[in-house]
Each structure stands twice: as structure tokens, then as C-alpha cells.
Amino acid sequence: MKDAQTYLNNEQTQSRGAVLITGASSGIGRECAIALDQLGFTVFAGVRKIEHGHSLMQQASKRINPILLDIADDEQISSAVTTMTKQLPEAGFVGIINNAGIALTGPLECVTRSAFQRQLEINVVSQVALIQAFLPLLRRYRGRIVNISSTSGKIAGAFIGPYCASKFAFEAVTTTLARELRSSGITVSIVEPGVVATPFWEKIIADEDELVRHMSPEAHQLYGESLFQRRRKLVQLIGTGMSPEKVSQVVTHALVSKRPKARYVVGFKAKVKMMIARFLPECLWCRR
């Protein structure tokens, strides 16, 4: 009986290697953390609040290691590198899933300089800083980088300009990294989901509502009705969004497949949208 229990304990603690996930508090990041834990990986789950880490641990095994990681904080990035270097399992470092990010929406005319800068800082500059910090470790273990983008990284739309700008830039960063790191044995993939049913959208709507409340009367006259109609359609769209589990399955493929793809478009609607944008004249599909 003792030997059997020892075997079970070993099975629960053995690891297929370590993975770092940013933005693991909810949505896609959380689903990826749970899925990879179930597959036997040691998961370092980056969260911004310790209570989010405790909540995650309740749903997973002892292989889940929540760490405080605000990707805009250089000290927390450095601390994460130190922590992971000390606690890596024998199987080493499998890779990074860059999922953290924010979405600033609203008419570009109404977006402040500081808000736009923050959008780019979080979704682009901080992502690069994190990757730079972990590259020595990735290079040592020939790990992988999986960047979570969006169809908004290929198709821009009205009232989501700041977010689209950040995702377009993230696409360029990913392509550049893939070419530069190939000689180091590091593969880089980008995942482009369509609409995913996560709490991420609730915050987007709340933030946009706040922006609308502070718009000038002139801006209300120009954009108010369009924003109202957009909000209504957005709520309907979120209700039909795919589950984050579908995205986590694709992320897992990018992380463990012998031949990971450079690009993954996730969801039937997203694939149709990409095809339309690719093959039809812009004047036919580019609408508010």
C-alpha cells in the first residue's frame, strides 16, 4: 500500500517541463493554465493579484505555481525569471504563453495620449520586455514562444483603433522574433482567436461606457448613436463567443507539437472573417 501511494504521489508531482503563462487570472490564460496542468506541465501562472493565484490553485494540482507578474513592472519580470530559474523541473523550460493584455476602445478622436501610450506599453512594449528577459532561459532549453493576438491584429475596425494598433504591432513583433530566433532553435507562434466568451469583454464594455460618459457634447453628437448601436451588437456577439477551452487546445498544439504552425486562426467565424478580408476589396467589407 505504501509503495502504491508513493507511486501516485510521484505521478502527481512529475512534470513534463515548465511553462510560463501571463495574464492567467481569468479567461484564456486561466484556461491554458488549468489545461496544461492537467497534461502534466509545471505551470507558472502570472497573476496581478494574489487572490487570483489562490483561486487558480483550488482548481489545479501542486504543479500550478502562481506568481505575481505585472508585465509592465520590470522588477516583477526580473523576479519571475529568478523564481523560475530556481524552481525549474528536470524536464526544463518548455515555453512562454504571452496572454496578458488590455483593450482600449472608443473613437480615436476621443482617446487621450496617455491612454493610447498605455495601450501600446502593455500590449507591445511590455511583451517584448518579458520575452527579452526570458530569452537566455528559452535558448538554453530550446523553448517556444506562443503569442496570443486576435483577428484585430489583421483587421482594423471603427472604435477599436488603439487595440488594433497594438495587435498589428504584436503581429510584426512575432514575425520578427520567429525569423531572428530560428537559429537558436526557438519556435514562435501567434494565435488569433475570434470572439471568446471571457470576462475580458465585460471590462471593455465598462471602460467604453466610462469614456462615453466623459465625451464632449460635440463628440456625443458625432459618435453617440454609432457607439450605442455598437454596444448592443457587441453584447449579442459576446453571447455567441467560443469557449476559452477551444483557444487553449490550439495553444497546447503550438506548445507541444513537433511541427507547430507559425499562425493559428481560431474559430470558424474568425477564419471566414480573415478569408473575406484577404480576398475581397476593402470597400466591400470595411464597415463600422
For the annotated catalytic residues, the residue numbers are 163
CB 94 within 8 A of CB 19: yes
Cell of 156: 482594423
118 alpha-carbon distance from chain centroid = 17
CB 198 within 8 A of CB 244: yes
The CA distance from 65 to 46, in Å, is: 9
CB 96 within 8 A of CB 44: no
Residue with cell 501542486: 62
CB atoms within 10 A of CB 62: 11
Which amino acid type is present at position 265? V
DSSP state of 177: H
